[in-house]
Amino acid sequence: MKIVFAGTPAFAVPSLRAANARHEVVAVYTQPDRPAGRGRGLTPSAVKQEAIAQGIDVHQPPSLRSREAKQALRALQPDLMIVVAYGLILPQSVLDIPRFGCWNVHASLLPRWRGAAPIQRAIEAGDPQTGVCLMQMQAGLDTGPVLLRQATAIGDNETGGQLHDRLAEIGAQVLSDGLGLLRAGIRPVAEAQPESGVEYAHKLEKSEARLDWALPASQLARKVRAFNPWPIAEVALGGERLRIHAATAIDIDIDHQQAPGTALGMSREGLDIACGQGALRLQTVQREGGKPISIGDYLNAQRAKAGA
């Protein structure tokens, strides 16, 4: 088969490797290079770097809606287009070009968590499990029928970054299974998504990182996990802004009678802060301009500062 692969971030790299296991990827589409790092120099996407390493031609049109972009894709005569976190909308005229249409690897159990941030939203909502769906693409936002799916439990302490990496590998395996069927002349059965249970995973915003102590501690702990490694939860504490890399919710048997945001106690396990319900135990924090440190090291630095 002639496969065209479209993807941009690191999440898509394992799927690109799976798609090209038989050297069938004739071209890779990825977003244009973006400024990154302190120098803000143009940086190629993770998918572009992988494609170059594998010797695959790279295309970076700003859009696939132009006549020229469609003509270039049509000239490749693809049997299948695989899309994984590409970041651009594919119009129906593009979806119709490959012989077998376009497949999408999506990091949720559809129809729950359609959209841009399914991994983080699943953790934030307290879902016990998530997974990956291989979907036949339609013009709607993640509305296409599901070809294959694989579920996985979300660990009690799993962060957004850790779950991202696991789902990237699961996605590559699900894609490989689908390609194996297609190569054998078997088209995976497309199962329409149910109309009930639809949830949208809206794009993460930096403004969501600020934690509100009035919320229940369990909800704040999920946010800390979901927003690691980006945008990283943050709080105002001791007159400064702290980023929270690790925290856990603890139950308090009696009403602590303290206003949300009040320090309730400290130990080697962490610093306990009163919340609307329960308390949040801060374990790993980061001061502005510093590196992530244990709460013990942070408190020691505060004591030294007070002593000075």
Residue 165's CATH number: 3.40.50.170
Domain count, the chain: 2
Average pLDDT over residues 267-288: 92
The distance from CA 74 to its chain's CA centroid, rounded to whole angstroms, is 31
Domain end among 201, 233, 268: 201
pLDDT in tens, 252-265: 655 567 899 999 98
* Widest distance between CA atoms in the chain: 75
Instruction: State whether 194 and 287 are in the same domain.
Output: no
Please report, in angstroms and rounded to a whole number, the separation of the first and last CA atoms in the chain. 70
88-119, pLDDT tens digit by residue?
889 999 999 999 999 999 999 999 999 999 99
Task: Please tell me whether residues 126 and 19 are part of one structural domain.
Answer: yes
Q: 183: pLDDT confidence band, cut at 50, 70 and 90?
A: very high
Residue identified by tokens 């909308």 is 89
179/231 same-domain check: no
The answer on 115 and 45 residing in a single domain is yes
**Token digits of residue 227:** 């927003």
Given 178, 201, 224, which residue is the final one in a domain?
A: 201
- Same domain membership, residue 147 and residue 231: no
User: Rounded distance, CA 223 to CA 211, Å?
Assistant: 8
Rounded distance between C-alpha atoms, residue 28 and residue 59, angstroms: 6
Quick count: other Cβ atoms within 10 Å of Cβ 68?
8
Q: Is the pLDDT of residue 300 over 60?
A: yes
Asked if 142 and 75 sit in the same domain, the reply is: yes
Question: Are residues 166 and 151 in contact, defined by beta-carbon separation less than 8 angstroms?
Answer: no
Predicted confidence band at 33 (pLDDT cuts at 50, 70, 90)? Answer: very high
Max mean pLDDT range (10-14, 22-26, 261-265, 266-270): 10-14
The pLDDT value recorded for residue 254 is 52
The reported pLDDT for the residue numbered 308 is 53
Decide: residue 110, CB within 10 A, 0-12 exposed, 13-18 middle, 19+ buried: buried
**Whether residues 23 and 143 fall in one domain:** yes
Query: 285 and 265, same structural domain?
Result: yes
CA 147, 150, 151, 155: dihedral to nearest 10 degrees? -140
Domain end: 201, 226, 252, which one? 201
What is the pLDDT averaged over residues 291-305? 87
DSSP E strands: which ranges in 160-239?
A: 200-201, 233-237
CATH of the domain at 267: 3.10.25.10
For residues 106 and 251, membership in a common domain is answered with: no
Burial class (CB in 10 A: 0-12, 13-18, 19+), 49: middle
Residue appearing with tokens 């909800």: 219
CA gyration radius for the chain?
23
pLDDT (tens digit, 9 = 90+) per residue, 197-250? 999 999 999 999 999 999 999 999 999 999 999 999 999 887 889 999 999 999
* DSSP secondary structure of 270-294: EEEEE-SBSEEEEEEEEETTS--EE
Question: Any known ligand binding at 110?
Answer: yes
Provide the 10 A C-beta neighbour count for residue 26.
17
Per-residue tokens: 18: 């799976």
Q: What are phi and psi of 9, to 5 degrees?
A: -85, 180
Same structural domain for residues 72 and 188?
yes
| 226 shares its domain with 128 | no
Average the pLDDT over 67-73 and give the result. Answer: 96
Q: What is the mean pLDDT of the chain?
A: 94
Closest CA to 179 of 7, 23, 31: 23
Verify that 168 and 212 share a domain, yes or no: no
Domain that holds residue 179: 3-201
Q: Which of 130, 81, 82 is CA-nearest to residue 108? A: 130
Mean pLDDT of 294-303: 87
pLDDT digits (tens, 9 = 90+) for 128-181: 999 999 999 999 899 999 999 999 999 999 999 999 999 999 999 999 999 999
Nearest alpha-carbon partner for 175 in 73, 32, 22: 22
Show the tokens assigned to 212.
Answer: 């509100």
pLDDT for the residue numbered 253: 55
Residue 109 counted as an annotated binding residue? yes
> How far is residue 259's CA from residue 264's CA, in Å, rounded to a whole number?
10
Check pLDDT > 90 for residue 299.
Answer: no
Whether 272 has a pLDDT exceeding 80, the answer reads yes
CA dist 141 → 97, 106, 109, 138 (Å)? 19, 11, 14, 8
